[in-house]
Amino acid sequence: MAIYVKLDEVLHDRRMTLTELSGKVGITLANLSILKTGKARGIRFATLQAICEALDCQPGDLLAYRQDSQAEMVVHAEAGEEDL
């Protein structure tokens, strides 16, 4: 995936849990989890706005673009796999 979701990092910086964010923005924990793990195929602007308001951040704080090869390296590193 070329778009990397940094929700986990922003939540950590704000010392907020996914459950707390879910309560503040009115989005189910399951949907936020899908977004956080990078499995979401898209996000509505209204959802992005609600998350940004709750976390007091900008969309660029939550999303980053990476080349496909960089994204694959991150996925392998997070899974604890060595580069092949």
Q: What is the pLDDT of residues 15-41, one digit of tens each?
A: 999 999 999 999 999 999 999 998 999
Residue 50 counted as domain residue: yes
- Domain membership of residue 55 (yes or no) is yes
Query: How many structural domains does the chain have?
Result: 1
The answer to whether residue 9 scores a pLDDT higher than 80 is yes
Could you give the 3-state DSSP secondary structure of residue 65?
strand
Q: Is residue 53 part of a domain?
A: yes
Residue 19, in any domain of the structure: yes
Condensed to tens digits (0 to 9), the pLDDT of residues 27-80 reads 999 999 999 998 999 999 999 999 999 999 999 999 999 887 655 555 545 555
Report long-range pairs for 37-46 (Cβ below 8 Å, ≥24 apart): 37/5, 38/1, 38/4, 38/5, 40/5
Q: What residues does 64 pair with on adjacent strands?
A: 4
Q: Is 83 inside any structural domain?
A: no
Token look-up 């986990």 returns: 8
The CATH number covering residue 71 comes to 1.10.260.40
Q: Answer for the pair 65, 3: CB distance below 8 angstroms, yes or no.
A: yes
Q: Assess if residue 84 is contained within a domain.
A: no
